[in-house]
Amino acid sequence: MGYIFTIMTNRKAKRILNESDDWVLFSSKKKGDYYEMVVSMNRDEAWEILLQLAIDKYHIRETFRNIINITDEHLKDNQDSSEPE
């Protein structure tokens, strides 16, 4: 299984999406003072891409783990004491 990790132009990204069987896309767009975050995929099973990456590549698995840990810390530090998680 091959992996491509690169920064790419919008044009190249569109071409890769058009050629791909499955895809998951994370994006953001500035709307005034805030960012609109979007997760898009071509079908429900596309999430298996992330699972397969985590299984096959240690550094990706650790990146996912770090994202979850940082998120948990952020939520814990910013949790309103009157609201249960």
| Domain ranges within the chain, ordered by starting residue | 10-78
Q: Which two tokens stand for residue 51?
A: 């699972």
Report the pLDDT value the prediction gives residue 73, as an integer from 0 to 100. Answer: 95
Measured CA to CA, the distance from residue 63 to residue 54 in angstroms comes to 9
Tell me: pLDDT of 36 over 80: yes
* pLDDT at 80 > cutoff 80: no
Residue-level pLDDT at 11: 93
Task: Please give the model's pTM, rounded to 2 decimal places.
Answer: 0.67
65, pLDDT greater than 90: yes
Looking at residue 4, its pLDDT comes to: 66
Please check the confidence at residue 83 and state whether its pLDDT lies above 60: no
